[in-house]
Each structure stands twice: as C-alpha cells, then as structure tokens.
C-alpha cells in the first residue's frame, strides 16, 4: 500500500526557515519523481517544486524560486523541502505527491497525495 506522510510544518515568523519531510513506503521510492503542491487556506492548489528520481533534476515555481530547495534521500525513502525567507503568502498546507515517472514531464499527473502538513507564516 503506497503511503506518503508529511511532517515538519508549524508556525514560523516572516523571514524564517523551515524544513518539511515526506516519508514514503509501500513502493520503490528511488524509482519515482516527486512534487510538492500547496494549498493556502480556503484556496486552490499550487505547484511548488518537483525532483527527479535520482535528484539530479529539480523544478521550482517562480513564486518560490531562490527561496525553496527540494531534495531527497533515497536511502531513507524521504523527500524534503527546505523553505527560507518565508513570507505570509507561503502559508498553506503542503502536500507531498508522487508521479508515475522517474523524471517530471508536462504530461505528469499527481497520485497519490500525502495528508499534508500546515505551514503558517506569521508574526
């Protein structure tokens, strides 16, 4: 059974940093690419970042480029999102999502999704 479990969310002040983790199980983690997708309270879904199966290709939305870093540890079956220079607009539930390919491409769909972890940026 494929499972994705995010952790690391919480309250952080503007300008601060936070690292999210996504622990995976039930499938060969190192064979698949992953994404982070976020959802601000009461709002829609927004692509944040993606990473290839080996971690050698990374992708970022313009809204987070230069501030967020995606990475993975295949030996620990864990995906990460390091967030810095956080802004109130970054407040959202962050979802870890898997795709059915080793390298992201324009035809990818997201399945499955983790349960999400809430990040709140506020003073």
Partner 1 sequence: QSVLTQPPSVSGAPGQRVTISCSGSRSNIGTGYDIHWYQQLPGTAPKLLIHGNSNRPSGVPDRFSGSKSGTSASLAITGLQPEDEAHYYCQSYDSSLSGWVFGGGTKLTVL
Q: Which of 74, 110, 118, 120 binds partner 1 (CB under 8 A)?
A: 110
Q: Which of 20, 33, 34, 35 binds partner 1 (CB under 8 A)?
A: 35
What is the rounded CA–CA span in Å between residue 109 and residue 37? Answer: 12
9 binds partner 1 (CB under 8 A): no
56 binds partner 1 (CB under 8 A): no
46 binds partner 1 (CB under 8 A): yes
Q: Which of 27, 30, 59, 120 binds partner 1 (CB under 8 A)?
A: 59
Q: Which of 30, 108, 118, 120 binds partner 1 (CB under 8 A)?
A: 108
Burial class (CB in 10 A: 0-12, 13-18, 19+), 18: buried
Those residues whose C-beta lies under 8 Å from the C-beta of residue 12, and which sit 6 or more positions away, are 18, 86, 119, 120, 121
25 binds partner 1 (CB under 8 A): no
DSSP 113: B
Least separation in angstroms between residue 47's CB and partner 1 is 4
8 Å CB contact between 38 and 48? yes
- Is the bond preceding 6 in cis, omega lying within 30 degrees of 0? no
In the complex, the residues that contact partner 1 under the rule CB under 8 A are 35, 44-47, 50, 59, 61-62, 95, 106-116
């Amino acid at each position: 059974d494929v499972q994705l479990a995010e952790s690391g969310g919480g309250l952080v002040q503007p300008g601060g940093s936070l690292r999210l983790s996504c622990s995976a199980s039930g499938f060969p983690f190192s064979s698949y690419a992953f994404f982070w997708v976020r959802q601000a309270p009461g709002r829609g879904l927004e692509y944040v970042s993606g990473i290839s199966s080996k971690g050698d290709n990374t992708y970022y939305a313009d809204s987070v480029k230069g501030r967020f870093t995606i990475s993975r540890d295949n030996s620990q079956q864990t995906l990460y999102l390091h967030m810095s220079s956080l802004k109130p607009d970054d407040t959202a539930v962050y979802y870890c999502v898997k795709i059915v390919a080793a390298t992201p491409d324009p035809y990818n769909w997201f399945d499955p999704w983790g349960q999400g972890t809430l990040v709140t940026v506020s003073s």
